[in-house]
Structure 1
């Protein structure tokens, strides 16, 4: 099969790799689509993802695929099921490491429930926490749209972990697919007012369409001043959906007493100096940069419900669709900054 590999030095290459083997509790999946994560994937390509130094690595972790073969002990999947989060586990015969590996023609999912039923759950060498979130997508959701469910579940799980509540105020920094999803979910969860900080004028309307009550271009206005006009006592939450250390510094001037700064974006600079002289006396800083697959799985039904009701439209978050046969040109997209929202890779 073909896979997209990075050397961690900015290089990308499409290589031939042995199709992954699977055990009795796993299923082989033919990939249908996979989202490009401009946070994780870009940092893996640049060799700047914290804690990862195993190269060359196969990229892709927001995948959707169709089950084509199942192990003898599998009970939760059948041939033809569309499933989320297939991965290429471990190292291939060709010595390519797993950067989760979903930019491949085939990958594998595991049956968490069958393993747990056979007393081979968490702690057993056969079990992976990822299996919780390798769940079935209803057939009425198109495969390109389905790739967005990965981002949606991660963000909703983060909203719950951060403790968002109806009626609370929030400022979100960033209007990429993650920032826009935070804005949408804040609104769906009853938070108000919702403020989004963007860096381009064309993003203002996107933020408002996603659910923001107010949107400001931080390159043309003083975001701290504008937010303080709206909230003299500060906001309940400030969310970094970009991965920029300066956002944390700005957020300290925005949150109210006992407010929370929520760091979801992953910065390429892993240290900074914090000046809290302008912050409230009591505030908290919450980093959440490694999603819990169990918590994601618990968000699955809510996301599907919102999609089916029309409250959440995956296509609104997708700007580009690239055929896997053309994935060798992905580096050109990244270098030129041509991706406005989410890019989905579509397999033939």
Structure 2
């Protein structure tokens, strides 16, 4: 089978044997898998939070199963990381900090003709059946949408809140969509790409700013009667993005650290501002099964139309072109299919 694997920091298309199943495992034929910014960061050696396995947003069809409730032909989403739900961290409400969470993964990754979902994941809810009204492309958004759902639950979005989102890529725009579901009021985004700045309006953002052309912090304050945003969502990992989000939030506001910072990220920021302005910083990392179930439910009920974010689709054999397009910035969501 064809598979994209990471070798010496480079994504390589290889022929690999189809994974063999052990008791409790299932084999999935990939039909769609989202290309995530973290995949690109792994290729560039910049990602700090996980194993160097590519492809974690897959949807497909059960090809082989060792469990009774999953049959060949079932349409499914597969979650790559699943916690134990029994350890100290899980019981204390930090399941993504579970020591088993990042030890789990898909074999050999979601960018493969076939991949194995281990029994650990299957047993703990890491496989969801897709309803007939949820396409494979939509299924490829379950994992990223789940991370957004969990993050917004952690930061808390109140009805009518003004939300400022730094980064208008696929994750930033998913945050904008989810903020609307959570009854946010005015939504502002910023980005360095003209394409993404303009694209944000297509999914209903109220105001979109190019941080290369305007003073974003000043503009956010103008748009909020001088206060600043109630919530800043930092959906990019650069130091400048983090500083922009911190400076654009109102006194007493909340800042969500969502984009993964690059290795060695250091901020030149006066920490006394946090205390003097009573700014709360909340980080959120990944998602668990309650979040994937909620994401699937929103998709099935058509509360969010994630297909609006898909700008490019590439077959597995054109993965290199897909990465090039994603890096250029004139895209939103790139989907890999087989």
TM-score normalised by structure 1 residue count: 0.81
Q: How many residues align?
A: 313
Report 1:246-257 matches (<5 A). Answer: 246-257=240-251
What CA RMSD, in Å, does the superposition of the two structures yield over aligned residues? 2.7
Distance 1:277 1:129, change over 3 A: farther
1:17, distance to aligned residue in structure 2 (A): 1.7
Aligned-pair distance for 1:85? 2.2
Q: Distance in 2 between matches of 1:24 and 1:129?
A: 11
Q: Which residue of 1 is the match for residue 315 of structure 2? A: 323
- SS across alignment from 1:215: strand
1:68 to 63, 68, 74: 63
Secondary structure of 1:107's match?
A: strand
The aligned counterpart of 2:87 is: none
Select which of 117, 121, 128 maps to 1:135.
128
**Structure 1 consecutive aligned stretches of length 4 or more whose deviation exceeds 6 Å:** 97-100
**TM-score of the superposed pair, with normalisation by structure 2:** 0.83
1:275 paired with 2:267, answer no
Q: Of 116, 128, 138, which aligns to 1:145? A: 138
Corresponding position: 1:345 with 2:336 = yes
Query: Judging changes above 3 Å, is the alpha-carbon distance between structure 1 residues 47 and 172 closer, same or farther for their aligned structure 2 residues?
Result: same
Q: Is the 8 A contact 1:249 1:275 kept in 2?
A: no
Equivalent residue, structure 2, for 1:212: 205
- Give the superposition deviation at 1:132: 2.5
Gaps of 5+ in 1: 90-96, 111-125
Deviations 1:290-334 (A, max 9, x none): x13223234134322442xxx422221111100113235445445
CA distance 1:76–1:161, change in 2 (3 Å): farther
- Report which structure shows greater RCO (CA 8 Å, sep ≥6): 2
User: Which residue of 275, 278, 284 corresponds with 1:288?
Assistant: 284
Residue equivalent to 1:154: 147
Tell me the alpha carbon deviations over residues 271-292 of structure 1, each in whole angstroms, 9 at most, x when there is no partner: 3132245555311211213x13
Question: Unpaired segments of 5 or more residues in structure 2?
Answer: 83-104
Shift of residue 260, structure 1, vs aligned partner: 1.2
Equivalence for 1:7 = 7
How far the C-alpha of 1:109 sits from its partner, in A, is 3.0
C-alpha distance in 2 between matches for 1:300 and 1:260: 23
* 1:183-234 C-alpha deviation (Å, 9 max, x unpaired): 1111121111111112233333322232322222211111111111122223
